[in-house]
Amino acid sequence: MNMRPWLAAAALAALVGCSILQPPLPDHPDAVAAIEAYYRAHAWEEGARCISPSMQVTQADVLEDTSDRLVVQTRYYWRDGKRSSKAAGFCSGFSTRTFTLQDGRVVAMTGEQRH
C-alpha cells in the first residue's frame, strides 16, 4: 500500500489546522483574503503549466508596515484543478511570494503571473 498520498493529506490537514488556530496576519485580518483573491486572479505556477491556481496562506511575515503600505512575504499551499491543455498530472505544491498592499488592496505580487 502506497502511503505517500496519505502523508501529503495529513501534512496539509496539519497546516490547515494550524492556520485555523492561529490565523496569519491577525493585525491585518482582511489582508489574507485580499492576497488570496489577487493570487487567484493573476498567478500561475510551474511555468504556466498550472494556469488557474488558488492558494491558501499557511504563514505570513510582515516585511514592512506603514500607514499606507503593507509588504507581506507569504508561504502558501496552491492547487490548480484547471491545468493548461499541455499539462499532465495534478498541479499542487507549496511556494513563497511577496505581496504589497496599499489601503488594503494588493498592488504588486512577486512570482509567475498573467500580464
In a domain, 115, yes or no: no
For the CA atoms of 11, 13, 35, 84, the dihedral, rounded to the nearest 10 degrees, stands at: 70
pLDDT recorded at residue 86: 57
**pLDDT greater than 70 at residue 21:** no
In a domain, 100, yes or no: yes
**Per-residue pLDDT tens for 41-85?**
999 999 988 999 999 999 999 999 999 999 999 999 999 976 555
Count of structural domains within the chain = 1
> The pTM is what?
0.76
In a domain, 38, yes or no: yes
pLDDT recorded at residue 1: 47
The whole-number average pLDDT for the span 30-49 is 95
Distance CA 96, CA 59 (A): 9
**Collapsed DSSP state (helix, strand, coil) of residue 40:** helix
In a domain, 71, yes or no: yes
CA angle 20, 35, 42 (to 5 degrees): 135
In a domain, 98, yes or no: yes
Burial class (CB in 10 A: 0-12, 13-18, 19+), 28: middle
For residue 32, the enclosing domain spans 24-109
